[in-house]
Structure 1
């Protein structure tokens, strides 16, 4: 059975209590808030032969087959490799599944995650199945970035914004999931995961706090001219490129925010407060704005899986960052 999260209780009651289900759902929201678990829970309910109290029974033939991964009437579509697109040939396999008769005589259910990974041809190949799925088929699309989906895909789905846990729920969940971490470590993980407890757990497994310490130390040495952009680009090889651009985007925003407000409560995480304040005081606002626009543009290229030269891109970023102080 898919895990049930307390922050999804109200939404689940609404979804599970329906007499009739839509033929296509789009579950969307930030990464790491349990959207896939919700999709799997809905799939289990829709396929269950004896649902009980608004949930799959977990014991009928359908539930047991689903738990074993051998249910003939469910189909999960994902990229063949992490961070790769979902291709048109994969969608054609899905379409062939949709037109078949359900082997257990009930519904067929499809889960697509992340839906935005479909390339243009794949998304277009899905449209007819989304609009008129054969038989009693339900398609459940899961998206971390619904803005990247085709309008024609979104318009054919019932869109459901998935709730985020509040601070107390995230803290409680993380305390149970990471009992070995102390309160400060959990606070840092939640800050790095923008409040998402599930993403925080994933980031912990990836060593994000160690990565952050390495990058923050490198930025300080860059500004003191103790390290060059090329040295840091090489030293940060193990840090995902998108994560680096997320951090630099956040820092440039905080510098600009402090220049405009002088609010010392709005300097971000403690590890970079003094650096943000220093750069805000030493940099021309127009230069910070130019840098932020550039960082956002490059981040979009990274998101779009553009064929980028990582080392050159990081060196360009760090060279711009090093030029910020003294630009007044």
Structure 2
């Protein structure tokens, strides 16, 4: 069982030290801060027959079965495929498990991640189990985006915000996790990961710094009219849509902030500072607000895994972006 991360120690002591446990916890916070490790460690502690202080003993029958992935009183529910919804039939199977008697005579523990992946029917099917779990059952729900959960799901759980590490703590951890990178590279990576160190490691593995460089170069060429929106949209075929919309939303927000404050320290990462400042100076605030609103709406669809025409969506974005600087500054 992996250790909890340094920034989780206080929360771990609080959770594991409880003499009585709630029937359902909602562990929430940004992706990439270690919520799954925390949940799995708590799951082991709750199932262990001979806990050793705050931790599972690692030696009892329950611990051995859990380590082998064959514990009869443990149920893990995830999407059947990455980035797909959790379906109602999956939740019904979980409900069947919840109403059974624990085979080892102790607790039953369910881990469900990510909770926001449940579609409406699946979430509704879970409500009764959350409200009246059968026997000694503890449900551990993990959510990266709790705002997408039904209020009825959230109200039936003890909601526990998981801590985001400080920048210094994250960089110290990344220095051990990614020793091959320089300090500036790790700092840039952490910024791209919105401060989540585990997400930073995943982004590094998928080549995010190279992807970012490709996106930035494309935007600069677009504004210099060296490439058309349709050509650029086609050339970005390998870039993750969610990252592109994250970056464009961020740039639009930085432009608005600069238009309001003229604070040159608040222009974001070095690679786009001059572009952000140029667009903020040359664009009507109404146009920036309009594209930000459009970006946020489309980003919500991307995050919700809507069936989108990728190239047409990117072309629509880039046409609007290229039209930002102009005479109608209001």
Give the TM-score band, short-chain normalised.
over 0.9
Q: Does 1:169 align with 2:169?
A: yes
After TM superposition, list the pairs within 5 Å mapping 1:69-148 onto structure 2.
69-148=69-148
Matched with 1:324 is 324
Aligned-partner Cα distance in 2 for 1:12–1:159: 15
SS in 1 for 2:195: coil
Q: CA deviation at 1:3?
A: 3.1
Q: CA deviation at 1:253?
A: 0.6
SS in 1 for 2:170: helix
Q: CA deviation at 1:199?
A: 0.5
Q: CA deviation at 1:235?
A: 1.3
Please tell me the root mean square deviation across aligned C-alpha atoms, in Å.
0.8
5+ unaligned residues in a row in structure 2: which ranges? Answer: none
Give per-residue Cα distances to partners, 1:28-60, cap 9 Å, x unaligned: 011111111111011000001111121111121
After TM superposition, list the pairs within 5 Å mapping 1:156-235 onto structure 2.
156-235=156-235
Aligned-partner Cα distance in 2 for 1:285–1:138: 50
Aligned-partner Cα distance in 1 for 2:139–2:32: 21
Give per-residue Cα distances to partners, 1:3-49, cap 9 Å, x unaligned: 31010111111111111000000000111111111110110000011
SS in 1 for 2:256: helix
Q: TM-score by structure 1 length?
A: 0.99
State how many pairs are aligned: 328
Q: TM-score by structure 2 length?
A: 0.98
Matched with 1:304 is 304
Aligned-partner Cα distance in 2 for 1:261–1:91: 49
Aligned-partner Cα distance in 1 for 2:264–2:53: 50
Q: Does 1:41 align with 2:38?
A: no
Matched with 1:151 is 151
Matched with 2:57 is 57
Q: CA deviation at 1:68?
A: 1.2
Aligned-partner Cα distance in 1 for 2:162–2:192: 20
Aligned-partner Cα distance in 2 for 1:67–1:171: 31
Q: CA deviation at 1:297?
A: 1.0
Matched with 1:278 is 278
Dislocated runs of 4+, deviation >3 Å? none
Give per-residue Cα distances to partners, 1:229-268, cap 9 Å, x unaligned: 1111111111111111110000011011111111010000
Matched with 1:250 is 250
Q: CA deviation at 1:2?
A: 3.0
